[in-house]
Structure 1
Amino acid sequence: MDIDSIIDTGDPLYARLFARPPVYDLIFSCLSPRSLTRVALTCRAASSAAAEFKTRAFNINRHFSRYFTDPIAFRSLQARTNTLVSGSNALQFLDRTFYPESDLDLYTHPGHSFEVAQFLVQVQGYHYVPRELQVKDWKVATKSYWDGITAVSTFKKQCLDQECLTVQIIEASSSPFESILGFHSTCVMNFISSDAAYSLYPVATFENRASLGMPSSRSTPTAIEKYIKRGWRIYYIPTPNNLAFFIEHARWVYDEHTWRLPLNQTGIEKRPPLSPTSAPLGFNPVLFNGWKLRIPERQETVGGYECYYYPVRTTLFRYNYAISEEDLSFAIRDWAIQQGKYYHWQVSKEDWAWFDADIPGFLRKK
């Protein structure tokens, strides 16, 4: 069928194009996330086609099926433990690309790594591969209590096609989000929770293909080199017209500069209460974390920028939080000190309630 016969039907050409998935898939697959959004705003046909395309392009269950025979069970585990997937895997998902040599990195809160490891070994058939100086038993290496220990545990599984899959559990000493803020550059500051995927610097990462390097991170030059070869330009001092890094701006995961991609929740178990006496946690705790890109104050760091935040760690909250504003962090700490002084001595530790559900109230009040 030639172009004239399409037009002669009386239907607009663009409507005919957006009615054929094989055609618009070819178009949409070449577009960046922002361009895809802009095309979707042009007309109803484009909007409907883009929405349908996104359900397939960002199919999280298919994405995780490489590592898990039951992606729904894994995502329900994420909801229970608030575990985040980050590193190159999250970048691949949002960028709609594939790095065959990459692993899957799971970032856990203190106290949750044991349950995640148990799922890998007993449900998914992975086996623990300790490093030379690590304990040989995963049940000992991964703890079920939270005591500030940071650990990286590696699990492997040989598939039928001879591919060896590797999953690493990175148990954060404070929180998964704080670990992500310590990455070598902004292009890898992306993560996947049970209910959404996030990019902290989407315009820089996916539109400009640019990344701000962090000289203060503990990453090796090899890590930076890997992402240069994958197509990102690494800046350590951004150019004057590069506003996509929001230097010295207080940021929050939930703010307008973050790309939040909601994920299909069919079959995912709801997030359970943190304890029988705790208020239901109707949100992912990662939402209420913040940071600021600034020049390091430490004298030994030469040039560049770092992600800075004010940590809030208290026995009133089950999880730890990074706060981007100093006065707000002090307000939360002051409340926690007073609340804990009167609350803890009246209730045994086994019966404590966690007050994480009150975190959004502090942010609304600021």
Structure 2
Amino acid sequence: MVNLIAILGSDRSPAVFDGLTTHLSIRDIVALTRTCRSLRSLYQKLVSKGAWNINDRLKRFVNDPGGFRKKLMELDGIISGGFALQFMDRVHWNGSDLDVCVQAGEKVDAFCRYTEEVEGYDLASRKVGKYNWTHVDMVHQYDKEVDGELVRLEIIVTRQHPIHSTLSTYTTALVNVITGNHAYSIFPNATFIKRQTYPTRIPDYFNGVVLTQKYKDRGWQFIQRVPKKKKATKELDLGQRRIGDKHTWKMALSPILDDAANDAAGALEGFEFELKKCQGFDDGVALEWLDVVATRQAG
């Protein structure tokens, strides 16, 4: 009888391999790579076999995933939010949107035109003035019907480089970024191995109860205290970090039929940020959160 190691460590049963690995969590994959020499390269094998296929994920929202990704690269746009988390976790949530962050000015104007003229979306609404804490000026909501289903693409208009917005979201599990050719998770050990997430701004009723409940229902444990240095994974240690450092989960995405784009380094590579512990009170209750602040582009 063929055992599990023989199936996962070779190419002799591709259909069985695919069937088994589809159900593996990130934690399972990491654990298996540590069991024996034969499975040490399991993660790389899954990547090469398209276990994280960004084009397949984007097909629900766009007609031309390659062209869409190339446009992201041209305009320094990034994908974040729930879509990025689902992509890296290899799960799908019904009714979820695609969030794209683009800097205000000519870049977002060009991306809005592309969304309407090339991808056939219609502007549904604009939301203004409620996003000061996230470096966001406005959100454009675009809708279109795909195979009888209404899908939504939200263009998040940021005052500075879009990474400032992603780093200032309300919880660490959502600090994941997809560029045209790379995907990054900033807190992968906490998010995908420990299934824990920490507040990244003061946990008021909306982001501390309403929004967090969604992710509790999806399997994440919310930790209300910022860990002391060295008491948890070092990715959460206070102080300076950079995107692409040893704590970052970085993944090269599938080619987009453009040599220059495929050869380009990650657009966010080396972007520095600082982790700070913040404390405050809400109705007399002491609260803590982890402030994640982009500081500067390295080099």
> Under a length normalisation based on structure 2, what TM-score does the superposition of the two structures give?
0.82
Which stretch shows the higher mean deviation, 25-34 or 223-232?
25-34
Shift of 1:201: 0.5
Change (3 A) 1:85 1:217: farther
2:289 is equivalent to residue 289 of structure 1: no
CA contact (8 A) 1:75 1:194 kept: yes
Sort the Cα spacing of 1:196 and 1:299 in 2 relative to 1 into closer, same or farther, 3 A. Answer: same
Structure 1 residue 69 displacement after superposition: 0.8
**Structure-2 separation of matches of 1:40 and 1:124:** 40
1:215-234 matches, within 5 Å, as 215-216=201-202, 220=207, 221-234=209-222
Asked if residue 306 in structure 1 is aligned to residue 298 in structure 2, the reply is no
User: Quick check: 1:73 aligned with 2:67?
Assistant: yes
How far residue 306 of structure 1 moved from its aligned partner, in angstroms, is 3.0
The residue matched to 2:191 in structure 1 has which SS? helix
Cα deviation, 1:289-323, whole Å, max 9, x if unaligned, reads 222322227789953123243xxxxxxxxxxxx32
Give the number of the structure whose residues are more often strand, by fraction.
Answer: 2
8 A contact 1:86–1:106 mirrored in 2:
yes
Higher relative contact order (CA 8 A, sep 6+): 2
* Counterpart contact for 1:130–1:154, Cα < 8 Å: yes
For residue 31 of structure 1, give the secondary structure of its aligned residue in structure 2: coil
In the TM superposition, what are the counterparts of 1:40-189 in structure 2 within 5 Å? 40=33, 42-43=36-37, 46=39, 50-54=43-47, 55-111=49-105, 112-131=107-126, 150-160=137-147, 162-189=148-175
Q: Is 1:20 matched up with 2:13? A: yes
Alpha-carbon deviation of 1:14? 3.2
**Distance in 2 between the 1:303 and 1:234 partners?**
13
**CA-atom RMSD in angstroms:** 3.0
Q: Tell me if the contact between 1:85 and 1:106 (Cα under 8 Å) persists in the aligned partners.
A: yes
Deviation string 1:236-278 (CA, Å, 9 cap, x unpaired) is 204564335523131110110010011122414635xxxxxxx
- Decide whether aligned partners of structure 1 residues 266 and 296 sit closer, same or farther in structure 2, where only a CA change above 3 A counts: same
3-state SS of 2:67 partner: helix
Q: How much does 1:74 deviate?
A: 0.1
Query: Could you tell me which amino acid in structure 2 is paired with residue 24 of structure 1?
Result: F
SS at structure 1 position matched to 2:61:
coil
Maintained 8 Å contact 2:125/2:140:
yes
CA distance in 1, matches of 2:41, 2:201: 44
Q: Does 1:258 pair with 2:253?
A: no
Query: 1:249/1:239 Cα in 2 relative to 1: closer, same or farther (>3 Å)?
Result: closer
Unpaired runs of 5+ residues, structure 1, are: 7-11, 135-147, 272-280, 310-321, 324-328, 330-358, 362-366
Matched length: 282
Counterpart secondary structure, 1:130: strand
Structure-2 change in CA distance of 1:298 and 1:133 (3 Å): closer
Aligned residue identity for 1:100: N
> Aligned residues: percent identity?
24
Contact 1:153 1:168 in 2 (8 A): yes
The two structures have a TM-score, normalised by structure 1, of 0.68
Asked whether 1:198 is paired with 2:184, we answer: yes
How far did residue 56 of structure 1 move?
A: 2.2
Q: Secondary structure at the match of 1:99?
A: coil
The one-letter code of the counterpart of 2:242 is W
2 CA distance for matches of 1:217 and 1:43?
44
Match of 1:211 among 178, 190, 197: 197
Give the Cα–Cα distance (whole angstroms) in 1 for the partners of residues 280 and 33 of structure 2.
46
Structure possessing the higher radius of gyration over alpha carbons: 1
- Report the CA distance between 1:217 and its aligned residue: 6.8
SS in 1 for 2:183: strand
